[in-house]
Amino acid sequence: MGLAACQHCSDDAIASVPPPSPPQTLLNHNHHYYDQSVCADLPTVYVDGSAFRHGPAPGAGVGVVWVDGDRRESQCYSLGERTSQFAEVAGIVIVLRGARDRGFRKLVICTDSDYTRLSFLCHLPSWKSNGFQTANRKPVKHEALFRACDILMTALDMHVYWRKVKGHSCAPSPEKELNDPGLF
């Protein structure tokens, strides 16, 4: 019996160790780690949420960039007085609704938010099985947003491939250009 490649929730690195066997009820069949060989021809969207707390009008917003070859479609959404984490997860709701409206059932979501990406890849199955409580028996923050995403994805049998992109670095790059619209 050979070793299987598995990815740990803490990063995108592949390790050559036997994967743990999660209980069947905890498998998350709709969320996948990014794999270039699978994702090359899938629709791709960059999403970034942000918030600021300075000045007389604090607020949050989401930037979304749909990429189709050389064509790009950018959208920005204002969310009012919210946190960055709220904006990041709300951005996923926006993206999933956009995917539904475009008829996409498989897509790549690119984000710099480990909070969002790992919540879906690693934590959502256990949250669903224990009434949306954390391991410390506290309510999951932004539960309504996570539930909305899960309901939409389950109803449409939608599959998301999560791609980690570098956050707001000062170094110019194509990914930075696509990921930064959430800043305002």
Q: Which residues, given as ranges, of the chain have pLDDT below 50?
A: 1-10, 13-25, 171, 182-184
Q: Can you say whether residue 108 is alpha, beta or left, with left for phi > 0 and alpha for psi between -120 and 50 degrees?
A: beta
The 159-164 sheet, strands edge to edge? 31-33, 159-164, 106-111, 44-52, 59-68, 71-80
SS3 50: strand
What pLDDT shows up at residue 175? Answer: 57
pTM above the 0.75 mark?
yes
What pLDDT shows up at residue 117? Answer: 97
In the chain, the N- to C-terminal Cα span, in Å, equals: 52
pLDDT digits (tens, 9 = 90+) for 63-77: 999 998 888 999 999
Q: Going from the N-terminus, what domains does the chain have, and what CATH number goes with each?
A: 24-182 (3.30.420.10)
What pLDDT shows up at residue 2? Answer: 37
What pLDDT shows up at residue 184? Answer: 46
